[in-house]
Structure 1
């Protein structure tokens, strides 16, 4: 069922309360709001394939959508997806328009001041170029002085700034960063020659390489590999425990690996879901 409302599209996805996963679900404590409403409400931009997008039938699709569906099914509740742009998801959590910002958030100090995170993948930022420029973009400093595209709100934005500072510190020209509304725009900018390279999440770069038939290729190893998390309200320990327990159950029964493999993201898998509330957890 898809329904319009507020500032975006909301879709409630009814999930059957099957026997499968029931035993695991019994040991997972439901957060009070989820238990009382019988609904897991998540925020998603639905605009970042293969993580989350709208398919040709107009339905939510992608790795994050399938993972959320699997979690809701395991918990025996209904899934509601509220369409909220990535940059507005943390404010939406604070105002309780959603319970979870279901996106691959890089865990940053400034974000941890506002929300906690439930780790579910690992990623980094990669340099992406054209087939004919790939070999010359393997080194992070190879993009010094070049026009580089990043998507608005993406972790690659901060990586571009740091790399640009490294360029200048080494006596090289700064990066000419160009910010675009979303990843599709950065890809188009690269393919049309408006930029020399683009920075993208390692989790999605391989997918885009395939969907552009090899015209848009990963050139570097991941820069600053780090865990990715789902955002929850600061201090909401019950939600964090519920979500991490559900993800760990999906890891144990193979569902997690199956979903990642379907979208070519097996390399981004983690062995355990952890709740992050302080940057010190990432430094240990």
Structure 2
């Protein structure tokens, strides 16, 4: 489990705080990054009706743990600050995005109501292991070392990318270009390792190391980038592309995406039947078109998988 200690902003920065930062010319960008009510219109899937309600599959429902069947509820850990995969809606309470919509549809197939709990990214593996949560979905890469702790049901293919201010778009294009610069990364993510390894490479080449700025959430990362405290943000390509699009040219995705791996829904390693129930429910959504419809609503069709797999992540 590749967890790091929290960075300089260890306490959670709420959206109201981010949206209220008095920085001339940056307020629209920070609001877009924070997922406040002003961003609902900007999120591609936030308007209109979602896919049709899914019919319960009794055979799959019977694979769920008895306590889940009895309660009719599935406790799922999720973030709220990684648009377009997940963010808060206009009520500053309801989760919107590809991930919560997909998870609710899976719950319908399994005949249970999905109850989301807010969790920091670096706590969800432990939360699933300890059974604080039945499942977790939070843009976590299905990496071999993580499979030592949890099982993954893969639902989306993705990569990592670099986001910079427009003024740095000509001089930063790869991790190697970050030598002597600062890079914002979210605690517990694979990108923390990427930046730390690049720092070692910089020093080995006789260049100043890249300085990682580790934040507990992506809001801190985007704020640091927007204010110039960080020269770059290294994160998942879907949110990098989304933030670049919403910034009206102030931020740019640079270089080529790297390390293609799927995101996976986290399941306790002992719950093999639960993992199979989730996999088959996801496959049903793929087969009946609901999966494709959800991804299209959130403008992330490029991440569609051909089939639902368990622990299928192979680095490329």
Aligned-pair CA distance for 1:52: 2.1
Aligned-pair CA distance for 1:26: 4.6
Question: SS state of the match for residue 124, structure 2?
Answer: helix
Name the structure 2 match of 1:50: 84
Aligned-pair CA distance for 1:27: 5.3
Question: SS state of the match for residue 200, structure 1?
Answer: strand
Given that 2:53 and 2:108 are in contact with CA atoms closer than 8 Å, whether structure 1 keeps it comes out as: no
Given that 1:125 and 1:200 are in contact with CA atoms closer than 8 Å, whether structure 2 keeps it comes out as: yes
1:191 partnered with 2:226: yes
Equivalent positions of 1:168-179 (< 5 A) are: 168-179=203-214
Q: Indicate which of 290, 293, 316 corresponds to 1:255.
A: 290
Sort the Cα spacing of 1:21 and 1:62 in 2 relative to 1 into closer, same or farther, 3 A: closer
Q: Deviations over 1:26-62 (max 9, x none)?
A: 5535313333322222111323332222212121212
The number of residues matched between the two structures is: 263
Q: Deviations over 1:58-78 (max 9, x none)?
A: 212121111111111222221
Q: Deviations over 1:5-43 (max 9, x none)?
A: xxxxxxxxxxxxx996437x3553531333332222211
1:124 partnered with 2:159: yes
**Ranges in structure 2 where 5+ consecutive residues have no aligned partner:** 1-50
Name the structure 2 match of 1:28: 60
Consecutive aligned runs of 4 or more in structure 1 exceeding 4 Å deviation: none
**Ranges in structure 1 where 5+ consecutive residues have no aligned partner:** 1-17
CA RMSD of aligned residues (A): 2.4
Aligned-pair CA distance for 1:181: 2.5
Given that 1:207 and 1:264 are in contact with CA atoms closer than 8 Å, whether structure 2 keeps it comes out as: no
Equivalent positions of 1:1-284 (< 5 A) are: 21-22=54-55, 25-26=57-58, 28=60, 30-33=63-66, 34-57=68-91, 58-276=93-311, 282=314
Given that 1:248 and 1:272 are in contact with CA atoms closer than 8 Å, whether structure 2 keeps it comes out as: yes
Give the structure-2-normalised TM-score. 0.76
Q: Deviations over 1:80-112 (max 9, x none)?
A: 112222222222222222110111211234422
Sort the Cα spacing of 1:118 and 1:186 in 2 relative to 1 into closer, same or farther, 3 A: same
CA distance in 1 between counterparts of 2:101 and 2:59 reads 22
Greater shift in the superposed pair: 106-115 or 62-71: 106-115
Sort the Cα spacing of 1:253 and 1:171 in 2 relative to 1 into closer, same or farther, 3 A: farther
Question: SS state of the match for residue 173, structure 1?
Answer: coil
More strand by share: 1
Give the structure-1-normalised TM-score. 0.84
Aligned-pair CA distance for 1:283: 6.8
Given that 1:51 and 1:62 are in contact with CA atoms closer than 8 Å, whether structure 2 keeps it comes out as: yes
CA distance in 2 between counterparts of 1:112 and 1:243 reads 17
CA distance in 2 between counterparts of 1:124 and 1:139 reads 14
Greater shift in the superposed pair: 126-135 or 103-112: 103-112
Aligned-pair CA distance for 1:152: 1.7
CA distance in 2 between counterparts of 1:149 and 1:95 reads 30
Given that 2:76 and 2:117 are in contact with CA atoms closer than 8 Å, whether structure 1 keeps it comes out as: yes
